[in-house]
Amino acid sequence: MRSLIDIIDLSTGELDELIGVAMDIIEHPEKYSESCKGKKLATLFFEPSTRTRLSFEAAMYELGGNVLSVTGGATSSVAKGESVADTAKTVSCYADIIAMRHPKEGAALVAANNASIPVINAGDGGHCHPTQTLADLLTIYREKGHFDNLTVGFCGDLKFGRTVHSLINALSRYSGIRFVLISPEELKLPSYVKNETLKKYHLPYVQTTDLEGAMPSLDILYMTRVQRERFFNEEDYLRLRDTYILTPDKLRHAKDDLCIMHPLPRVNEISVSIDNDPRACYFKQVLNGKYMRMALILKLLKEAQV
């Protein structure tokens, strides 16, 4: 049974295919309005979410399907001590596909190994978040038209930011990509991500603490929230949370066609005065996420049938 746990589960050709379907959905939504008639998506979210869960649910409704939902462990049998494996087996009896978010790294893989229906990882702890990457890729594609030869800056919490790990993984396949990793010392990209992607594919990257110094070279700037929920103590979080705040002043030396991204939610990382700047793409990312999740649900359900 085909699931999506990590973005590397999808080949470059499949990423192109999903982008192609999403673009067709954008142009001809009516063609897809009954594609998932009679099918059910179960959203199992054991961590807070607004965009990811609602975009999965909106995606399924727009495909003509239905949704079953568990939000927060407190209202499900997880609160009684049920394992992820048993939950996955149970939900397989009711639904056709699962989207799951869980605070533990690897939880989606455990679910996929026990479910008899496709499982989509909607975020597993600080590990990865492949469907946010699909949203990010469609945004880059629509803004830039290609993935090659881009200088991509990631700024903020690169240690715990799962969306960063997945997007770096995905972009590593394209040629001429350069990464600028901007973070405080304590929140640097984990060495496993560096070793499995940047070093393995000999990709050029620099690590810096200086956002303004990096700005002029960037085609994409991917801001992130400091992931409070993954910190072991509140003091460290309070010390680090406002290290980078993007203000209009900091964009003075940025390219005119810079694409400013953020997976959201934003806390304080981007001043609201940037929201009307034509380079701000973070709300476009939100919408693109729905189209890519529609394309993904279609693909996985189709593959499950054969």
Which among 3-11, 28-36, 81-89, 263-271 is the span making contact with ligand NCD, rule CB under 6 A? 263-271
Contact mark string toward ligand NCD, 216..235, x via CB under 6 A: ---------x----------
Which among 65-73, 139-147, 262-270, 273-281 is the span making contact with ligand NCD, rule CB under 6 A? 262-270
- Of 114 and 259, nearer to ligand NCD (C-beta) is 259
In this chain, which of 127, 162, 290, 299 binds ligand NCD, going by CB under 6 A?
162
According to the binding rule CB under 6 A, does residue 153 interact with ligand NCD?
no
According to the binding rule CB under 6 A, does residue 264 interact with ligand NCD?
yes
- Of 63 and 264, nearer to ligand NCD (C-beta) is 264
In this chain, which of 2, 39, 40, 51 binds ligand NCD, going by CB under 6 A?
51
According to the binding rule CB under 6 A, does residue 52 interact with ligand NCD?
yes
Q: Please tell me the distance from the alpha carbon of residue 98 to that of residue 10, in angstroms, as a whole number.
A: 18
In this chain, which of 22, 147, 263, 296 binds ligand NCD, going by CB under 6 A?
263
In this chain, which of 3, 22, 41, 129 binds ligand NCD, going by CB under 6 A?
129
According to the binding rule CB under 6 A, does residue 53 interact with ligand NCD?
no
Contact residues for ligand NCD, defined by CB under 6 A: 51-52, 123, 129, 132, 162-163, 225, 263-265
